[in-house]
């Protein structure tokens, strides 16, 4: 329902006895009954009341808390919402400050949490919208917009590659498509995977999710299921995609683990939400009812781009963990792995400070 918009002189109406846009006031010649004439004012008051109620509900949803961990979680929720309301110039400045690498062909940024890459229903601001502004900040007002080379999910943080020229972007995209780019993600999981290293080979598919807003998400489509204690093969779906991911536990406790994920196929392994145990929630200082506010802990830690164009060596691009991720590691008793344990001395290193 469209709400009435009113100016200083009252709601603007269009009638046969007035010019378009002429304000309707008490001095105007009556053209309808008194009951009909009062409807716009009633609608205006109703709209104001609904806005006040909506604002009051928002205030109740995010009560002020003295717990520092819960306060930090609430700050992350507000930060994600604010990202959709900031001016594109402000967002471009933040991306500019977080640049990990820049040369004549590529620009590598540190993607923040909660920022979508592409636009869509309900998305007011995304990375694609600010690429022209970011390009002008780096090369002046005559600069052409930067081009995306790949994508990351809204909740994923870390290394993201952009290209100056469309042809270079297509070349990098082809490297991703043919799986020549080595990608490593860090994630915090509920409990520790057994064994501590291995390969996950479970197909995934896109399914529609019912809720306040209908949307699609990637879910598991396993080839087998348990039926009365027996393993039964499931008919494969035509929409399922092969998803093979190699994993290794970097640090673990009985209730959680820091896991390094390396996608082998073109489709990244999906992330799963699971009800957190009481012990994990206690360490985080959260109640189960507030667990939905915990951000997804999935970080694009490292990319290795093969030699391309004028560059004759592989390019290693690494990005440090965001603050909320590092804080969760500390709270859960997980150790930060050695920064240099997986690096190759013959590779060019670009580490985000």
What's the CA angle centered on 58, arms 128 and 325, to 5 degrees? 55
Quote the number of domains for the chain.
1
Residue 317 tokens, joined: 């691009």
351 within a domain of the structure (yes/no): no
pLDDT at 339: 56
Mean pLDDT value across residues 88-103: 92
pLDDT in tens, 29-71: 444 444 444 445 567 777 777 777 776 666 555 556 666 666 7
pLDDT in tens, 219-229: 777 777 778 88
Helix (H, G, I), strand (E, B) or coil at 59: helix
Lowest mean pLDDT among 15-29, 194-208, 224-238: 15-29
Position 205 pLDDT exceeds 50: yes
pLDDT at 7: 41
Q: For CA atoms 27, 28, 29, 35, give the dihedral sign.
A: negative
Give the orientation angle of helix 68-83 with respect to helix 323-332, to 10 degrees: 160
Q: Which residues lie below 8 Å from residue 162, measured CB to CB, with a gap of 6+?
A: 106, 107, 108, 109, 131, 146, 147, 148, 149, 169
Say if CB 332 and CB 190 are below 8 A apart: no
63 within a domain of the structure (yes/no): no
Give CA separation, 116 vs 68, 126, 288, in Å. 28, 5, 27
d(CA 309, CA 331): 44
pLDDT in tens, 141-152: 999 999 999 999
pLDDT at 169: 95
98 within a domain of the structure (yes/no): yes
216 within a domain of the structure (yes/no): no
109 within a domain of the structure (yes/no): yes
Residue 67 tokens, joined: 């717990």
Cis peptide before 195 (omega within 30 of 0): yes
Position 196 pLDDT exceeds 50: yes
46 within a domain of the structure (yes/no): no
Catalytic positions: 153
148 strand-pairing partners? 162
What's the CATH number where 185 sits?
A: 3.30.2350.10
Structural domain range at position 248: 68-201+242-337
259 within a domain of the structure (yes/no): yes
The helix (H) or strand (E) run that includes residue 44 is helix 39-61
Would you place residue 132 in the very low, low, confident or very high pLDDT band (cuts 50, 70, 90)?
A: very high
Mean pLDDT for the chain overall: 75
175 within a domain of the structure (yes/no): yes
pLDDT at 86: 77
Mean pLDDT value across residues 249-265: 90
């Amino acid at each position: 329902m469209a709400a009435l918009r009113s100016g200083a002189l009252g709601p603007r109406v269009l009638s046969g006895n007035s010019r378009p846009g002429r304000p309707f006031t008490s001095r105007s010649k009556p053209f309808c009954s008194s009951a009909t004439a009062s409807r716009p004012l009633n609608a205006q008051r109703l709209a104001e009341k609904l806005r006040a109620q909506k604002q009051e509900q928002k205030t109740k949803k995010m009560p002020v808390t003295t717990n520092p961990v819960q306060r930090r979680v609430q700050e992350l929720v507000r930060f994600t919402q604010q990202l959709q309301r900031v001016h594109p110039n402000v967002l471009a400045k933040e991306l500019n400050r977080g640049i990990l690498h820049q040369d004549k062909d590529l620009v590598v940024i540190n993607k923040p949490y909660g920022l979508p890459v592409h636009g869509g229903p309900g998305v007011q601001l995304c990375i694609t919208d600010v690429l022209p502004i970011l390009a002008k900040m780096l090369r002046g007002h005559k600069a052409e917009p930067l081009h995306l080379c790949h994508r990351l999910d809204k909740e994923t943080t870390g290394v993201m590659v952009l290209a100056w020229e469309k042809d270079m972007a297509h070349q990098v995209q082809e490297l991703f498509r043919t799986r020549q780019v080595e990608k490593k993600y860090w994630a915090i999981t509920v409990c520790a995977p057994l064994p501590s290293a291995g390969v996950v080979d479970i197909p995934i598919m896109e399914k529609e999710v019912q809720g306040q807003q209908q949307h699609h998400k990637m879910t598991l489509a396993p080839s087998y299921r348990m039926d009365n204690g027996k393993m039964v093969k499931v008919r494969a779906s035509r929409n399922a995609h092969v998803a093979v991911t190699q994993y290794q536990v970097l640090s673990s406790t009985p209730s959680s683990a820091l896991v390094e994920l390396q996608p082998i196929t073109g489709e990244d392994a999906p992330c799963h939400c699971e009800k957190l145990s009481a012990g994990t929630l206690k360490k985080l200082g959260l109640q189960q009812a507030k667990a939905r506010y915990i951000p997804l802990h999935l970080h694009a830690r490292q990319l290795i781009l093969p030699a391309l164009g004028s560059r004759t060596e592989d390019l290693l691009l690494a990005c440090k963990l965001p603050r909320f991720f590092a804080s969760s590691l500390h709270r859960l008793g997980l150790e930060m792995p050695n920064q240099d344990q997986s690096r190759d001395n013959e590779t060019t290193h670009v580490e985000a400070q």
